[in-house]
Structure 1
Amino acid sequence: MASNRQGSTKRGKKSAKPTKKKSLWNYPRRGKGRIRRWLPSWRFIVGSFLLVAATGVGAFAYLYMTTEVPEPDDFALAQSTDVYYADGETKIGTFANVRRTSVPLDSLPDYVPHAVVASEDQRFYENAGIDIRGTIRAAINNLQGKPIQGGSTLTQQYVERYYMGTTTSIPGKLREAILALKIDQSQSKDEILENYLNTIYFGRGSYGIQEAAESYFGIDAADLTLDQAALLVAIIPSPSNWDPAVNPDQAMARWERVLRRMAEDEWITVEEAEAARFPDTIEPAAQNQYSGTDGYILAEVRRELVNSGAYTEDELDTMGLDIVTTIDEDMQGYAVQAVENLPEDRPDNNYVGLISMNPENGEIMAMYGGEDYLTRARNTATQDRAQAGSTFKPFGLLAGIEAGVSLTDRYDSSSPYEVGGQEFENFQLRGLGNITLLEATANSVNTVYIRLNEEVGPQATRDVAVRAGLPESTPGLDDTLSNVLGSASPTAKEMANAYSTFAAQGIRTNPHIVREIRNRDGDVIYTGDTSGERVFEADDIANLTYALESVVSPGGTASQISALGRPVAGKTGTSSFLVSAWFAGYVPQLATVVDMYQIGPNGEEESLTPFGGQWAIQGGNFPAQIWLDFMMEATRDMEVEDFPEPASEPTTRAPIPTFVPEPEPTTEEPTTEEPTTEEPTTEEPTTEEPTEEPTTGDPTPTEEPTTEDPIPTVEPTVDPTPDPTVDPTEPGPPDNPGPRPTPGRRKTRTKGPPLSPAGQVPNCTQYVPDEA
């Protein structure tokens, strides 16, 4: 029996299948279709979502608990920016000394905070410091290509601008949101509004609503009208750009927006919005720190950084930076003194610009932009323009050198010289015979340079000027035959860049006035661009420099410059009708340019009024004297360096195609004719002035204007600049000083632009000056 039971039990018992242990990772999923086996289960999806959410909540909770809220006063600490000379220790001035006077919210009219809420955060009283709905709405609008919107609440703006600074990173935005939440919990809405209104930047160096009311309207914030309050609130996002004195159209559009939104939110009635009138503002008050000549340095530093996009106006005024300029304190003093050395009877409307550059790195070592920035907020060295006159001739000479022309090649210098229906003349209609190009440079003979420009083509001359450093947009810079005589009107800074390229043996650098910027921790966060680009061959520049040395040698048009006692090269320049006078020159370590011009009562260019016992103001007298006075001191402790020797040249060169100008259009008045009967009817190109006045005979000028009649222009009322519509030339000495030793001839060159371009005799366009 026992055995039977055992047997029956064994036969009746089914064998159990082994159970498989489930793994955490069940992919691909068993028992599912070909596609579904690769899809995650709903449990996995839900679990993953909960895990991420829990992690995010935990991280947020941790950050919320560990983030400390600073005191409200800490938010308001917008630090000023200090600007220093090149030594990094001597302060020149400060940007935006923070002017702030806190006022209680209940002292302000109700429409002041209401305007802020309507414009900056319509859900301010409902949100908890952040607005998820507003953020999502702004993101959708931005993705749809609509006008860019921000999702920051008023509280977040408060946090960003005065505690964290501008931030775009995800961790930074997260911390900003946490601070906004905590501030909303620790301060009432009225406290947040009061702190916001007392710390926000309104432009014009004003922090807070009280200073803004004084800066824009000359009143206390408690006396603001609805119209005025709406305007101040309207410009909050970009006060420097939307100031009515800068951009009245944008200011009005923003002002209307504020009133419209206040009416929509029922802070004011529609009738009150319609009755509002755009308020008048007072003129921005210049800060006293901008007084004198240093004001031009501060303004130029600001302009360079803002125009480059490196910093905004607001950032320069609030970030607490240390800006080290390239300006050498001693050299700056020498520049100011050199101009102040001018005779006391100098006319009030006579202006001088001076720029001195380091050719090696483009640093501006000294800059004279005017007597007092508070009196005239326009820089004579970087903003005002003057006709270049014969300081332009080196561009034509270099174009010739690149094309294989030798300094020993001879040209007919007879005067007048007619080409294309125009006449070009030398000083006192006098030719110097068949002279070398070197002699023509020393005496600045116009007719020789016109013939040279015919050979190489005026386009080549223009190309050299642009490669050297003149902007292509320079007024008067064209491809006409007389461009070599200086019809273009650069700034002193632009011309200094070009001559600095010569001093650097053909390497062009970027002129700049900011060397470096340090943040609050002392870390260098910005450096000026000191890189260089080779634009001319060194041998060509060596020949050019050799020729320009003749200008300052005995018998040249600026022989007094030889008193510097070291190798120096340069060029004088005087425009036609004496509307401008220049001297541009360089030693191996420093390039300096000085220009002088005169502005009439209506902004028109005027002929320079003689003063200081001179019968005429020309490049070879006062501009050269200013240059020499400055350089004598600036180079006193510099090692005396020689220029490279000029390159040797062959005895012959290949013929250069002759430039054939097109005939003048019959519908236009010839450029050689005068618009009135008061001026000469032909161009009067001359050579260059002598180093001394004639001792016998009538007091005839030694330097005479050059080409076409000036076209009067009415320039802007804010310190307009001269009109370069006249093709200037350069007068020269009455006697031929004879040639100086010349270099050998060198190999014929075939590089460079086309040598026989078609063109037309000059017909300058009217000049529109830069903005102030």
Structure 2
Amino acid sequence: MAHTRRPTGDVSSVKGGRAAGQAFPMRRTRRGKLRPVRKRGWNYPRAGYGPIRRWVPSWRIVLASVFLFLAMGVGAVGYLYVTIDIPQPGDFALARTTTVYYSDGKTKMGTFAQYEREPIKLSDLPDTVPHAVVASEDSSFYTNSGISPRGIARAVVNNLRGGHRQGASTITQQYVERYYLGTTRGYLGKLKEALLAIKIDQQQSKNEILENYLNTIYFGRGAYGIEMAAQKYFGIHAQQLNLSQSAMLSAIIPSPSGWDPAVNPEKAKERWTRVLNRMVGEGYISKQEAESAAFPQTIPPGTSSAFSGTNGYLLAAVDSELRATKKFTADDLNQNGLKIVTTIDPKMQKASVDAVAGLPKDRPANNYVGLVSVDPRTGEIYAMYGGADYKARERNAVTQDRAQAGSTFKPFTLLAALDSGKSLSERLDSSTPKVFSGNKVQNFDGKDRGKIDLITATKYSVNTAYVQLNEDVGPDKTKKAAITAGIPENTPGLDSTLTNVLGSASPRPIDMAKAYSVFANQGVSTTPHIVRSVQNKNGETVYTAETEGKRVFESELMSQMNYALQSVTSSDGTGATAGKLDRPVAGKTGTSSGPWSAWFIGYTPQMVTVVDMYQVGSKGEEEVLTPFGKYTYGIGGGSFPAEIWLRYMEVATDGMKVENFPKPKKRVTPTGDDETETPAKKPSQAPTTRGRPTSSSPGVSPTPTERTPSEPTRTPTPTPTRTPEPTTPPAVVPSASPPPEPSKDATQQTQ
């Protein structure tokens, strides 16, 4: 058989040949042209072509490459779809508002929330809400597979043309982004978002997706979810939304901050009209319904705040106390949907606010009052007035601010004296003025009562007698007694100088509440606290406050203290105003020199209530209290503080069992001697009127006097804070001016 030989060509005769003398197999085309024969298999670079053309791919290679890349892309997407797992919902999706309750566990005090959200079921919403959102955000929601190919194509074209960037996200994609992924950026993130949307669309119902979407979408004004949006924009619950309100909330979803009617009413109304028209187009409402709808009126933004008003101080105290336990973080409190039950009694809290609100209208704007009421047996805080509005002044008058203690510190010297073996019948010289270690001390009213016992010295808050007692006992023991009772050792001004008995220290009201609770609780110390318990979102109790006390003083010692301090609230004591409460009351007034501050601390066996008043200058410096109201000669602990105390206690103790303080074994008799209780003879408690002790010391003037001496050259020391911090110890030099003229009103005389 004859064989035909394939023609060959010399490389020199082929344009672009590799080298002279090298031959390539050639073939002739139908037109008679010779072409190099392609290599078997992968013909690249192309055989028989010149140095440039041989690298230009043929149409076969181009087509094969396109198919290959498409196949790889489809394969990769398919692989990602199969292997990608639906992640756990993100922190944002799980974030729930923490609710804080009063002591009854039912009355709501306020909330904590990083994301203000209150989930609501789709079935509880009016149809206008889902219809408006679907019409506005994703009209194909009920028919698409989680993504919209047409929307994606439109967004790609728009983005390539340099138009305003579009994401083409369906409701399902937005739900995936917010519920599972957080904010997604870039094409890879969007691809993952789209794949998850498809997968979730197959695993969850449309109603489930829409419900979660409505509970997580941001509507502006700090509101996440339709329930909070309804509250923030209209002051109602989402269940009450009508057509116009539903359309408006749906309209601002793409740009809630920019399209808020309070920010851009024209744009908001334009978008609102668009939503109504789309609802008509989708058949959700009729054209007549759309035309008859009126643009809804919204409430001003920021009119409601969890931390506004007096309750803001309570909520801030709750937050601070729980975080101080190291068992709760800020995220725990703001995102975990906790139920916090406080110790605050709603009736008593209102009474505290009303008591301060009852002050005269001419009260200076920079005059501040702190009030805290505590159960001495458990440490639970019944009520706390930290200020008028937390948003206006984020300083709690009870837990943060300080004021010089004045004569409310004298009981610590009395405590140290009794603990060292002295008795209530100890007699001291009350002459005035007197010099102690170079310090000149005088009684406020200038009265010399001669030799008086400790009850009389306490009843009238006699300065010279108490400084003498402090000198006898030792001021270091006064300091130690105060610390043991509960005054923090680092309290500014707390020292071991002789005049510490006159209140040079500047404690917080909460510190004094803790210390005086030891007296009321017969020597057992408890810690004041505002949180009773915390439950997680599953209803499990995860925190309970400690209420167990610790004994720091003997009960008999406290019985003697309480016996002496009841004399303060007798009809002619410095705290006579508080004595009008129809039950046994012990307490102490306090007015620092100046006066820079005024206190009244009164208590029953079940309740210790501390009230202080102070004044702050424009630079945060301590100011002398400006007289106002009926106290034109000056303000003391027995004036406004005692009146506030009484107004509060009359309500707070209403219905509370009347309890007597335990009787001490040793008391002062009318002759000024100690009387020891024995089985054969049980002397009665000091004579009382309506449950109040009266004077037990003979030959004592009924004129009440209580005030630490002032110093004419002393000026307040500015501090970097807005609250009065301690300055120098109270003066012990008599004032250059005579004491205020006594008023016919008994309380005016009790400074």
Q: CA deviation at 1:95?
A: 0.7
1:631 pairs with one of 622, 643, 649: 649
Alignment of 1:449 onto 2:466 = yes
* Pair member with larger Rg: 2
- The equivalent of 2:724 in structure 1 is 721
Counterpart contact for 1:597–1:722, Cα < 8 Å: no
Counterpart contact for 1:353–1:380, Cα < 8 Å: yes
Alignment of 1:621 onto 2:639 = yes
Secondary structure of the residue aligned to 2:666 is coil
- Summarize deviations over 1:725-765 as a string: whole Å, max 9, x none: 23268999989xxxxxxxxxxxxxxxxxxxxxxxxxxxxxx
Alpha-carbon distance change, 161 to 573 in structure 1, aligned in 2, over 3 angstroms:
farther
Alignment of 1:349 onto 2:352 = no
- The equivalent of 1:32 in structure 2 is none
Q: CA deviation at 1:205?
A: 7.2
Alpha-carbon distance change, 74 to 96 in structure 1, aligned in 2, over 3 angstroms:
closer
CA separation in 2, counterparts of 1:715 and 1:500? Answer: 31
Q: Which has the higher contact order (CA 8 A, sep 6+)?
A: 1
- The equivalent of 2:123 in structure 1 is none
Q: Within 5 Å, which residues of 2 pair with 1:111-130?
A: none
Identity across the alignment (%): 51
- Summarize deviations over 1:141-196 as a string: whole Å, max 9, x none: xxxxxxxxxxxxxx9x998999xxxxxxxxxxxxxxxxxxxx999649xx9xxx9x
Q: CA deviation at 1:652?
A: 9.3
Secondary structure of the residue aligned to 2:577 is helix
1:376 pairs with one of 376, 393, 414: 393
Root mean square deviation, CA, Å = 4.4
Secondary structure of the residue aligned to 1:595 is strand
Alpha-carbon distance change, 611 to 297 in structure 1, aligned in 2, over 3 angstroms:
same
- Summarize deviations over 1:270-312 as a string: whole Å, max 9, x none: xxxxxxxxxxxxxxx9971211111111111011111222211
Q: Within 5 Å, which residues of 2 pair with 1:412-451?
A: 412-451=429-468
Secondary structure of the residue aligned to 1:400 is helix
Alignment of 1:645 onto 2:663 = yes
- The equivalent of 1:510 in structure 2 is 527
CA separation in 2, counterparts of 1:403 and 1:733? Answer: 38
CA separation in 2, counterparts of 1:514 and 1:464? Answer: 28
Residue identity in the other structure for 1:621: S
Alpha-carbon distance change, 588 to 69 in structure 1, aligned in 2, over 3 angstroms:
same
Counterpart contact for 1:557–1:691, Cα < 8 Å: no
Counterpart contact for 1:387–1:487, Cα < 8 Å: yes
- Summarize deviations over 1:688-744 as a string: whole Å, max 9, x none: xx9999xxxxxxx97464579645322235x32343423268999989xxxxxxxxx
Q: CA deviation at 1:529?
A: 1.5
- Summarize deviations over 1:341-367 as a string: whole Å, max 9, x none: 111111111100000000110000000
- The equivalent of 1:320 in structure 2 is 337
CA separation in 2, counterparts of 1:312 and 1:708? Answer: 50
Residue identity in the other structure for 1:591: V
CA separation in 1, counterparts of 2:468 and 2:455? Answer: 14
- Summarize deviations over 1:542-572 as a string: whole Å, max 9, x none: 0011110111112211112221111110000
1:311 pairs with one of 328, 338, 343: 328
More displaced 10-residue stretch of structure 1: 705-714 or 434-443 = 705-714
- The equivalent of 1:469 in structure 2 is 486
Alignment of 1:546 onto 2:563 = yes
- Summarize deviations over 1:412-436 as a string: whole Å, max 9, x none: 1112221222212112443211111
Alpha-carbon distance change, 67 to 412 in structure 1, aligned in 2, over 3 angstroms:
farther
- The equivalent of 2:349 in structure 1 is 332
- The equivalent of 2:407 in structure 1 is 390
CA separation in 1, counterparts of 2:706 and 2:416? Answer: 28
- Summarize deviations over 1:650-705 as a string: whole Å, max 9, x none: 9799xxxxxxxxxxxxxxxxxxxxxxxxxxxxxxxxxxxx9999xxxxxxx97464
1:564 pairs with one of 581, 589, 595: 581
- Summarize deviations over 1:69-127 as a string: whole Å, max 9, x none: 36868961310100000000000111116259x999999x9xxxxxxxxxxxxxxxxxx
Residue identity in the other structure for 1:407: L
CA separation in 1, counterparts of 2:642 and 2:740? Answer: 14
CA separation in 1, counterparts of 2:377 and 2:195? Answer: 57
- Summarize deviations over 1:591-648 as a string: whole Å, max 9, x none: 0000000111111111111111212111001000000111111111011111011122
- Summarize deviations over 1:318-351 as a string: whole Å, max 9, x none: 0000000000000001111111111111111110
TM-score (norm 1): 0.57
- The equivalent of 1:459 in structure 2 is 476
Q: Within 5 Å, which residues of 2 pair with 1:218-229?
A: none
CA separation in 1, counterparts of 2:431 and 2:482? Answer: 27
More displaced 10-residue stretch of structure 1: 420-429 or 328-337 = 420-429
Residue identity in the other structure for 2:613: M
2:96 pairs with one of 63, 73, 79: 79
Counterpart contact for 1:559–1:691, Cα < 8 Å: no
Q: CA deviation at 1:220?
A: 7.8
More displaced 10-residue stretch of structure 1: 89-98 or 69-78 = 69-78
Secondary structure of the residue aligned to 1:365 is strand
1:583 pairs with one of 600, 610, 635: 600
Secondary structure of the residue aligned to 1:337 is helix
CA separation in 2, counterparts of 1:433 and 1:692? Answer: 14
CA separation in 2, counterparts of 1:286 and 1:222? Answer: 16
Q: Within 5 Å, which residues of 2 pair with 1:660-679?
A: none
- The equivalent of 2:281 in structure 1 is none
- The equivalent of 1:95 in structure 2 is 112
2:375 pairs with one of 323, 335, 358: 358
Residue identity in the other structure for 1:712: P
CA separation in 1, counterparts of 2:303 and 2:514? Answer: 30
CA separation in 2, counterparts of 1:539 and 1:708? Answer: 42
TM-score (norm 2): 0.58
Residue identity in the other structure for 1:350: N
Counterpart contact for 2:343–2:380, Cα < 8 Å: yes
Alpha-carbon distance change, 73 to 388 in structure 1, aligned in 2, over 3 angstroms:
closer
Secondary structure of the residue aligned to 1:559 is coil
- The equivalent of 1:179 in structure 2 is none
- Summarize deviations over 1:201-240 as a string: whole Å, max 9, x none: 9xx97989xx9xxxxxxx98999xxxxxxxxxxxxxxxxx
CA separation in 2, counterparts of 1:319 and 1:475? Answer: 38
- The equivalent of 1:486 in structure 2 is 503
1:612 pairs with one of 629, 637, 641: 629
Counterpart contact for 2:94–2:336, Cα < 8 Å: no
Secondary structure of the residue aligned to 1:76 is helix
Counterpart contact for 2:404–2:505, Cα < 8 Å: yes
CA separation in 2, counterparts of 1:385 and 1:548? Answer: 24
Q: CA deviation at 1:469?
A: 1.1
- The equivalent of 1:600 in structure 2 is 617
Alpha-carbon distance change, 626 to 605 in structure 1, aligned in 2, over 3 angstroms:
same
- Summarize deviations over 1:483-514 as a string: whole Å, max 9, x none: 11100111111111111111100100011000
CA separation in 1, counterparts of 2:740 and 2:482? Answer: 23
Counterpart contact for 2:443–2:706, Cα < 8 Å: no
Alpha-carbon distance change, 78 to 480 in structure 1, aligned in 2, over 3 angstroms:
same
Q: CA deviation at 1:409?
A: 1.1
Unaligned residue ranges in structure 1 (runs of 5+): 1-64, 110-154, 163-182, 212-218, 224-284, 654-689, 694-700, 736-772
